[in-house]
């Protein structure tokens, strides 16, 4: 049984989708939800599914990174999934989960990645620049954050009538469709 922790700062719709997908799975278990935001939607989702959850703020992690490492140890976490997690991951954790930490990015990396490029910022930038396509990137996390090995990308058109909110919906649809399967395949491959 491989145990997974999902880290998220927001609504948690990808977490919900992953939880549903792996519900009956006998080799993969979503065992822990971690958030830096005490009222994030992802925590209600954890509660609803009776999955343990922990809030660790930016300050708490900065003061004591060992608390985070210890948390992973206590819950025997094998893989970490970042699903809309907005804090920088400490290098110690990245090193410990080399090839075992997966992020989803709502654009086609290497474009629209890096500093400031998260959440709606990405979609606003794509609309402002009149891009004709966007998509999702599912990638491993290394110390250069958005530059880890890309496991999977899917493209969607950006039509002239799209605004950032509509694009975000289209991107979410792609995420729901592909993220769980890509995670499952990667876990199964190593
Ligand atoms: C997703 O679009 C993800 O790609 C991005 O943040 C969003 C999180 O949405 N990094 P949710 O919390 O899973 O609903």
Chain segment 45-64, per-residue pLDDT in tens: 999 999 999 999 999 999 99
Q: Annotated catalytic, 75?
A: no
Please tell me the distance between residue 106's alpha carbon and the centre of ligand 1 in angstroms. Answer: 7
Is 44's C-beta closer than 6 angstroms to any atom of ligand 1?
no
Ligand 1 atom nearest the C-alpha of 17 is 13
pLDDT, tens digit, for every residue of 75-96?
999 999 999 999 989 999 999 9
> Considering only CA atoms, which residue is closest to atom 2 of ligand 1?
106
Q: Is the pTM of this model over 0.75?
A: yes
What was the pLDDT predicted at 115? 86
Q: Please give the torsion angle defined by the CA atoms of residues 126, 58, 19 and 12, in that order, rounded to the nearest 10 degrees.
A: -40
How wide is the angle at C-alpha 146 spanned by C-alphas 133 and 35, nearest 5°?
A: 105
The chain-wide mean pLDDT, for the chain, equals 96
Is 113's C-beta closer than 6 angstroms to any atom of ligand 1?
no
């Amino acid at each position: 049984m491989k145990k997974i922790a999902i880290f998220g700062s927001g609504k948690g719709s990808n977490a919900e989708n992953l939880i549903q997908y792996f519900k009956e799975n006998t080799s993969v278990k979503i065992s822990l939800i971690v958030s830096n935001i005490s009222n994030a939607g992802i925590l209600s989702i954890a509660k609803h599914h009776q999955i343990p959850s922990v809030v660790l703020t930016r300050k708490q992690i900065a003061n004591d990174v060992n608390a985070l490492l210890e948390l992973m140890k206590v819950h025997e976490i094998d893989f970490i999934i970042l699903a809309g997690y907005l804090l920088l991951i400490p290098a110690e954790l990245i090193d410990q989960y080399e090839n075992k930490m997966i992020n989803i990015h709502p654009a086609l990396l290497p474009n629209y990645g890096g500093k400031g490029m998260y959440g709606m910022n990405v979609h606003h930038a794509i609309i402002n620049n009149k891009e004709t396509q966007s998509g999702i990137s599912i990638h491993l996390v290394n110390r250069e954050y958005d530059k880890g090995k890309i496991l999977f990308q899917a493209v969607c058109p950006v039509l002239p009538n799209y605004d950032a909110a509509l694009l975000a919906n289209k991107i979410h649809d792609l995420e729901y469709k592909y993220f769980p399967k890509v995670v499952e395949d990667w876990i199964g491959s190593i």
